[in-house]
């Protein structure tokens, strides 16, 4: 992972620093947002967030992604210190075109896992090894990770990043994403509360 450049990024919650990285193997651009002194050796409040154009930018209620992104940035701003890694792996790694194809299958009754599998993909193709060089750039080796995904916690530990605390980030449960969240819990093992 090649570090390219950094700049200031004022948001409604805080003025973050934004850092751009490029994966030389895929030419994909990945981002990190940092706030405060994250290189002091103490566990850092963090979110590892995979791109979701429909949720993050278009406010889709089919998922909880955009709400999780905003909640994480607010939490980091409130704390005055933290990091958010924004990984460009849309649709659990299948890309935007296939994600919309999966949506079409979901509209016809498939759940998110079934839709990916009918398109010939695993349920989740995301990679988290990308995080190691990004976190290393900032001297971060321990996280207080905002996630509901046990796979993400295991992935951080596998790359040598300690997860000293897991912070639940369950937000925006609504009638449009109830089946999506239930599938996350039952088929992907996410730590989520009961149905609406």
Work out whether the CA dihedral 70, 132, 1, 7 comes out positive or negative: positive
- The answer, yes or no, to whether residue 28 has pLDDT greater than 60, is yes
The first and second tokens of residue 72, run together, are 């994480």
**The model's pTM:** 0.92
92 marked ligand binding residue? yes
Residue 193 lies in a domain: no
One domain for residues 19 and 52:
yes
Residue 32 to residue 141: CA distance in whole angstroms: 15
Q: What percent of the chain has pLDDT over 70?
A: 98
Structural domain including 41 reads: 2-89+128-188
- The model's pLDDT over 89-130, given as tens digits with 9 standing for 90+, comes to 999 999 999 999 999 999 999 998 999 999 999 988 999 999
What confidence score (pLDDT) does residue 196 get? 44
Q: Is 47 annotated as a binding residue?
A: yes
Tell me the per-residue pLDDT of 38-89, one tens digit each, with 9 for 90 and over: 999 999 999 999 999 999 999 999 999 999 999 999 999 999 999 999 999 9
**Residue finishing a domain among 125, 145, 175:** 125
Active site residues: 124, 126
Q: Is residue 103 part of a domain?
A: yes
Q: Across the strands, what pairs with 39? A: none
| 154-177 mean pLDDT | 93
More confident residue, 165 or 112: 165
Check the annotation: does 131 bind a ligand: no
- Mark whether 13 and 79 lie in a shared domain: yes
H helix intervals, the chain? 65-79, 90-93, 96-107, 112-118, 131-137, 150-158, 178-188
The annotation status of 30 as a binding-site residue, yes or no, is no
């Amino acid at each position: 992972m090649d570090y390219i450049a950094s700049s200031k990024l004022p948001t409604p919650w805080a003025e973050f620093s934004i850092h751009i990285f490029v994966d030389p193997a895929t030419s994909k651009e990945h981002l990190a947002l940092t706030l405060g002194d994250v290189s002091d050796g103490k566990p850092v409040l963090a979110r590892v967030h995979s791109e979701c154009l429909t949720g993050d930018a278009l406010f889709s209620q089919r998922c909880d992604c955009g709400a999780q992104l905003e909640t994480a940035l607010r939490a980091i701003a409130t704390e005055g210190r933290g990091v958010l890694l924004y990984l460009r792996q849309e649709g659990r790694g299948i890309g935007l075109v296939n994600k919309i194809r999966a949506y079409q299958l979901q509209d016809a009754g498939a759940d998110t896992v079934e839709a990916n599998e009918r398109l010939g993909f695993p349920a989740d193709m995301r990679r988290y090894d990308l995080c190691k060089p990004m976190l290393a750039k900032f001297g971060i080796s321990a996280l207080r990770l905002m996630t509901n995904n046990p796979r993400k916690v295991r992935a951080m530990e596998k790359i040598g990043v300690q997860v000293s605390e897991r912070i639940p980030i369950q937000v925006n449960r609504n009638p449009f994403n109830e089946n999506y969240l239930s599938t996350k819990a039952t088929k992907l093992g996410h730590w989520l509360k009961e149905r609406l």
